[in-house]
Amino acid sequence: MDGSLRLRRGRHIGRTVRDRDADPLLLRTDPLPAAGSVGGMPESSPLRVALAGYGLAGASFHAPLIAATDGLELRAVVTRDPARRDALAASHPGAVAVDGLEEVVSDVDVVVVASPNRFHVGLARVGVAAGKHVVVDKPLAVSAAEARALAAQAGAAGVVLSAFHNRRWDDDFLTLRRVVGEGRLGRVLRLESRFDRWRPSIKEGAWREGGDPADGGGLLLDLGSHLVDQAVVLLGPVVSVYAELGVLRPSAVVEDDVFVALRHESGARSHLSAGVFAADGPPRFRVLGSEGAFVSFGLDPQEDALRAGASPLDPGFGLREPGLAATLNDGSGAEPLAMEAGRWLAYYDGLVDAIRGGGAVQAPVSAADAVGVLEVLEAARESAARGVVVAV
């Protein structure tokens, strides 16, 4: 399949990816205060982290997880916004705010990219070129071709490159993997997985709602990244893709309704969907096997907890409120299942192990996995544009 990003016909059609704007998070202004205060730490000390971006993903997800991880220390955050700088000082007083990644990259061990999608690759390249390990919030890049090139650069530099596909550690997905691992479903035949929301109005000015393909907006790259990654983790490699992409809200210019059907090498099928008009709360997972069915409702609680200011170290973090969330049915009735605790923190624990392991321990999400997700998503976009099944 062509590595270039294929665009869906319609309101997102006929536009080519224009040259990326200069990334404001790369620009240098004043030098980092107290030069040398971030560097010179022995290997036994925590790995020093620079976080590029302090919007929702950076402030609510990455920063709290980094701060809670044994073996990591948040040393610098790239943000120019005065309000975000004030929030950083209040929440993480030990971290210094800087205007550009280049000001601090030589003084840290790990770069975490939590910027808008269009800047993912540029920021990651700065870290890799400096010999730093790099985490990129999903998706790794806007196109598979860019992701492959970045992975090759990281491989040549001998550094860890990993994408933050945190939904591998959602409570419902961990519970599903436990049930499958115990053999209670028998042979898995079909996975139905949904990320549905009730958001009938677009958010004006949000980059995810914009029509420039370079921004990487729309639900396919956003929630589709999670859906495809989970499907591949559970059922293995994909051999073909069929997709339908819709633009349903009157003022929308990127897809806000997504259906993707995958055929896996194992013969299993995945039916994945995401949308903004789901007021009814359908099952999050419905998984059919030769010996039973798994069904779960609701969403993992970690995102809401982190957005509300909770710490991953708080007692009960990652646990749902008591109530029926998942069942297993073998044809004789539904059996309530005990839910695993959600563990997004496991991603960063795994990152520390991979870096300290010097190549002997695999990253929690490999660059190859992240590239594979993008290849499937590009096949989905091609399928929707042509109305055909696309081989991967």
Please choose, from the candidates 216, 237, 164, 256, the residue with its C-alpha nearest in 3D space to the C-alpha of residue 378. Answer: 216
Q: Are 262 and 238 in contact (CB under 8 A)?
A: yes
Q: Are 306 and 157 in contact (CB under 8 A)?
A: no
Question: Is residue 305 a part of any domain in this protein?
Answer: yes
Task: Say how many C-beta atoms besides its own lie within 10 A of residue 21's C-beta.
Answer: 12
Question: Is residue 309 a part of any domain in this protein?
Answer: yes
Question: Is residue 323 a part of any domain in this protein?
Answer: yes
Flag the least confident range among 174-188, 203-217, 231-245.
Answer: 203-217
Q: Would you say residue 3 has pLDDT above 90?
A: no
Q: Are 156 and 129 in contact (CB under 8 A)?
A: no
- Beta strand 110-113 with 334-336: parallel, antiparallel or unpaired? unpaired
Q: Would you place residue 38 in the very low, low, confident or very high pLDDT band (cuts 50, 70, 90)? A: very low
Per-residue model confidence (pLDDT) at position 25: 58
Q: Are 117 and 15 in contact (CB under 8 A)?
A: no
SS percent in the chain: helix, strand, coil, step 5: 35, 20, 45
- Which single residue is written with the structure tokens 């016909």? 9
Question: Is residue 151 a part of any domain in this protein?
Answer: no
Q: Rounded to an integer, what distance in angstroms lies between the CA atom of residue 386 and that of residue 380?
A: 10
Output b/e per residue, 224-239; b: 16+ Cβ within 10 A.
bbbbbbbbbebbeebe
Q: Rounded to an integer, what distance in angstroms lies between the CA atom of residue 105 and that of residue 92?
A: 19
For the residues 222-246, what does the mean pLDDT come to?
Answer: 98
Tell me how many domains the chain contains: 1
Q: Rounded to an integer, what distance in angstroms lies between the CA atom of residue 25 and that of residue 103?
A: 10
Cis (ω within 30 of 0) for the bond into 282? no
Question: Is residue 255 a part of any domain in this protein?
Answer: yes
Q: Would you say residue 242 has pLDDT above 60?
A: yes
For the residues 33-45, what does the mean pLDDT come to?
Answer: 44
Question: Is residue 37 a part of any domain in this protein?
Answer: no
pLDDT (tens digit per residue) in 135-146: 999 999 999 999
Per-residue model confidence (pLDDT) at position 280: 84
Question: Is residue 3 a part of any domain in this protein?
Answer: no
Which letter does DSSP use for residue 113 in this model? E
Terminal-residue alpha carbon distance, the chain: 7
Question: Is residue 314 a part of any domain in this protein?
Answer: yes
Q: Would you place residue 43 in the very low, low, confident or very high pLDDT band (cuts 50, 70, 90)? A: low
Per-residue model confidence (pLDDT) at position 28: 40
For the residues 303-326, what does the mean pLDDT come to?
Answer: 94
Residues of the domain holding 327: 168-348+375-391
The DSSP string of 20-42 is PPPPTTT---SPPSSTTSSS---
Radius of gyration of the chain measured on its C-alpha atoms = 21
Alpha carbon of 154 to those of 50, 118, 160: distances in Å?
17, 19, 7
Please choose, from the candidates 164, 86, 156, the residue with its C-alpha nearest in 3D space to the C-alpha of residue 128. Answer: 156
pLDDT (tens digit per residue) in 319-374: 998 887 999 999 999 999 999 999 999 999 999 999 999 888 999 999 999 999 99
The CATH number given to whatever domain includes residue 251 is 3.30.360.10
Supply the pTM of this predicted model. 0.88
3-state secondary structure of 188: strand
Q: Would you say residue 150 has pLDDT above 50?
A: yes
